[in-house]
Amino acid sequence: MSEVKDNNVQRGRVIADKNILLSIIRIATKETAGVADVTSTIGKKIKSVSNSNCMDGVEISYDKKGKLIIDVYVALYYNYNVSEVAYKIQKNIKNSVSAMIELEIKDINIHVVDVVFTDNENI
């Protein structure tokens, strides 16, 4: 939550809907090279129907101190280094969330749930 201030006089608060945060995270993830899709497992799809803190492949929660915990479920393209892509996803999410919404992030967990092969690649 951000507060708008002018000459140390508080004028109000800016409150962002959690769907905006979920969208920012999804977009930051999809912009990362090597990411085929932001997806979820069957269990996560069922959970997302009943949980408003989930959106296709992204789940957010908060620890006891109010710090944000992010879980992202992705499918990666074949021939990309999983560790490098996961690190880049974490970096993109952190930069995007920090630039748009002032929230303190505790953890960004990347779950690789699938590998996607292009037409030119065979197993």
pTM of the shown model: 0.78
- pLDDT for 23 beyond 90: yes
Predicted local distance difference test score (pLDDT) of residue 102: 79
Q: Per-domain residue ranges for the chain?
A: 16-116
Predicted local distance difference test score (pLDDT) of residue 52: 58
- Asked if 35 contacts 29 with a C-beta cutoff of 8 angstroms, the reply is yes
As a whole number, the mean pLDDT across the chain is 83
| CATH fold label, 16-116 | Alpha-Beta Plaits (3.30.70)
pLDDT digits (tens, 9 = 90+) for 62-97: 999 989 999 999 999 999 999 999 999 999 999 999
